[in-house]
Amino acid sequence: MPTPKHKGPAPPRSPNPAQSPPRPLEQPSHKKNPSKSTKLLRRFRSVFRSFPVINPPCKMPGPVHTGRTHDGHMHGGRQMSGTLFGHRKSRVNLAIQENPRCLPMLVLELSIQTGKLLQDMGLGLVRIALESEKNPSEKLKLVDEPIWSMYCNGKKVGYAVKREPTEDDLKVMQLLHAVSMGAGVLPIDGGAEGELTYMRAHFERVVGSRDSETYYMMNPDGNSGPELSIFFVRV
């Protein structure tokens, strides 16, 4: 008589933003985000690097990290969630959240096409510098500046504009509420603009002064520098 095979519990499945039902974004709690496995992080890195080729077309202090950046300097900062999203031939949007379940604390429209930026990131390091003119008579926080001169790898490419989150922005954040890291396509009809692509990662926010701060994309394998660094500076 054959011995019946033991059936163990089914392996957990990674969250799929297309299948996860949207839910309202929450106010931040004081619970820490659960850590992800090395296998999941490596899978994200692999997906992100292949994505541009395969398919081009409220305050919650986060854990403190210390490490060495690509230029050899030590830094420490707070972990944030950063999402690049947009239609392939449209300008890319950047949303910064304190965690994926929070309302965005910053939304910027960058003067570079989504497909072009993701392709550049797949090829190597990308440094984006955003410069704003200092006005001593104004007391704005750095990230509240309305417009920025934008430089990509040292070349001026236009301007970045800060705006309030739109309904479309919030729809994207809701679809991705269960995603900590990943890249792909969202089931949002863009008409002639095509599908909406996204890339989400952990960023380390490092504040230099009231006139400068930097967001370093945290590399999943921890062996090399971030593919993307975003510098905010008032001059």
**Per-residue pLDDT tens over the stretch 72-104:** 334 568 999 999 999 988 999 999 999 999 999
d(CA 94, CA 14): 24
> What's the mean pLDDT when you consider all of the chain?
76
Residue 113 forms part of a structural domain: yes
pLDDT score at 8: 54
Q: Are 62 and 45 in contact (CB under 8 A)?
A: no
pLDDT at 226: 61
Specify if 186 maps to a domain: yes
Mean pLDDT along residues 118-141: 89
pLDDT of residue 115: 86
In a domain, 70, yes or no: yes
Residue 196 belongs to some domain of the structure: yes
In a domain, 155, yes or no: yes
What number is the average pLDDT over the span 184-188? 84
Is 88 domain-assigned? yes
How many residues in the chain? 235
- Predicted confidence at residue 99, as pLDDT, reads 92
Note down the domain range covering 188: 62-234
Please tell me the total count of domains within the chain: 1
CB 222 within 8 A of CB 119: no
Task: For 33-65, write each residue's pLDDT tens digit.
Answer: 444 334 444 544 454 544 332 222 333 333 333
Q: Which of 34, 90, 36, 29 is nearest to 61 (CA)?
A: 29
Cα angle: 93, vertex 99, 104; to 5 degrees: 40
Is there a domain that residue 91 lies in?
A: yes
Q: Which tokens is 12 given? A: 């957990």
Question: Is residue 192 one of the residues assigned to a domain?
Answer: yes
What is the Cα–Cα distance from 235 to 231, expressed in whole angstroms?
A: 12
Q: How many angstroms separate the CA atoms of 158 and 175, rounded? A: 30
